[in-house]
């Protein structure tokens, strides 16, 4: 395919300073492909990157193209990518992490904890965080960070694989067993996807803590709702579980209160699986954690769960349709971001369309 020399992209110039700008279309290295982007969803991390909450880290500098929940079609392949079987026309979804492939963590399959993180000259990438991302008409990506999707799956649907596979990783790391109660604190997109994953993996009761319309959505998806505005969250969980607490707990909100509540509402010997990232370090109830053997597990991204998430969608074990609420052309990103941040009109997953509004 003859690619254009230029493309439209969302370019972050500084803190809360972004424009739609014409930039060069990238070219692939040997193990990379260029994809024509169909859909890029706004992730909860994106506003933090835009607002400068991770200075010098995400991104490392400006100008910068963010975006990492995406799907598209391969339009050009590097020499090695071609030999590995990637070809023009492949329909794919992407994840943000690309490990170097050589360090001890990558060799263990934990490329999300690559020891060469942040060093692109050593082979590491994190797309949309410090490596250019997918709020653009074309996306340059390593083949290590993309997955083929079946023709039966729309590209828009596939753009949710990244967050869905993170939810899957977080639930699996809680060591949930079929029939177990699971407590999910936070009913944003990640928490709601965790509700769907927990249900698919055979949870007994799914208890969700949140508020407002998103808590109602969790209830519609099958969760027992608890509003954190209606009294002591830990006591409400204990009342539901005969005073025992939940053996599996997911912390998806990233606030000091919710992290502490997660530790206190876990059952003895329970696991608290954390995906929410607090802005500052949080005091923990260490006496309870030690004496009741509460395990706290941190989770970063989605190592080795994207293909599993694709299979859950293909086999109708999970349906995320009701979470995909809004769509905008990329040129209306400011409007899309405002709706996402302020949760207007029931916004959950808000999509941008760099190459037009058709749904493929």
Rounded mean pLDDT, 8-18: 98
Catalytic residues: 45, 48
**pTM of the shown model:** 0.97
- 169/167 Cα distance (integer angstroms): 5
Rounded mean pLDDT, 314-321: 98
pLDDT grade for 359, boundaries at 50, 70 and 90: low
* pLDDT at 357 exceeding the cut of 60: yes
> Quick one: pLDDT at residue 279?
85
pLDDT tens per residue, range 43-63 = 999 999 999 999 999 999 999
pLDDT tens per residue, range 117-140 = 999 999 999 999 999 999 999 999
Q: Among 14-18, 278-282, 300-304, whose mean pLDDT is lowest?
A: 278-282
Rounded mean pLDDT, 300-320: 98
Q: Which domains does the chain have, with CATH numbers?
A: 6-160+320-353 (3.90.180.10), 164-298 (3.40.50.720)
């Amino acid at each position: 395919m003859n690619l254009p020399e230029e493309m439209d992209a969302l370019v972050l110039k500084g803190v809360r300073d972004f424009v739609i700008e014409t930039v060069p279309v990238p070219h692939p290295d040997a193990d990379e492909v260029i994809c024509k982007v169909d859909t890029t969803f706004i992730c909860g991390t994106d506003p933090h990157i835009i607002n400068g909450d991770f200075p010098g880290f995400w991104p490392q500098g400006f100008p910068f193209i963010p975006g990492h929940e995406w799907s598209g079609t391969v339009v050009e392949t590097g020499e090695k990518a071609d030999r590995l079987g990637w070809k023009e026309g492949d329909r794919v979804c992407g994840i943000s992490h690309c490990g170097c492939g050589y360090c001890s963590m990558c060799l263990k399959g934990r490329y999300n904890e690559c020891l060469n993180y942040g060093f692109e000259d050593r082979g590491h990438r994190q797309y949309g965080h410090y490596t250019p991302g997918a709020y653009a008409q074309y996306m340059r990506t390593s083949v290590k960070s993309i997955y083929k999707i079946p023709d039966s799956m729309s590209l828009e649907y596939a753009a949710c694989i990244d967050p869905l596979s993170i939810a899957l990783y977080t639930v699996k790391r809680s060591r949930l067993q079929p029939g177990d109660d699971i407590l999910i604190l936070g009913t944003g997109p990640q928490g709601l996807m965790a509700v769907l994953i927990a249900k698919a993996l055979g949870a007994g009761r799914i208890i969700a803590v949140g508020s407002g319309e998103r808590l109602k959505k969790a209830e519609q998806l099958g969760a027992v709702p608890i509003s954190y505005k209606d009294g002591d969250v830990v006591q409400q969980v204990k009342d539901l579980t005969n005073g025992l607490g939940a053996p599996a707990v997911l912390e998806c909100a990233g606030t000091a209160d919710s992290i502490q509540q997660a530790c206190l509402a876990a059952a003895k010997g329970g696991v608290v699986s954390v995906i929410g990232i607090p802005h500052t370090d949080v005091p923990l109830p260490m006496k309870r954690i030690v004496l009741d053997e509460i395990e706290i597990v941190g989770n970063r991204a989605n190592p080795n769960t994207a293909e599993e998430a694709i299979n859950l969608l293909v086999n109708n074990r999970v349906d995320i349709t009701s979470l995909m609420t809004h769509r905008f052309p990329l040129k209306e990103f400011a409007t899309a971001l405002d709706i996402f941040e302020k949760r207007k009109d029931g916004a959950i997953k808000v999509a941008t369309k760099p190459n037009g509004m058709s749904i493929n």
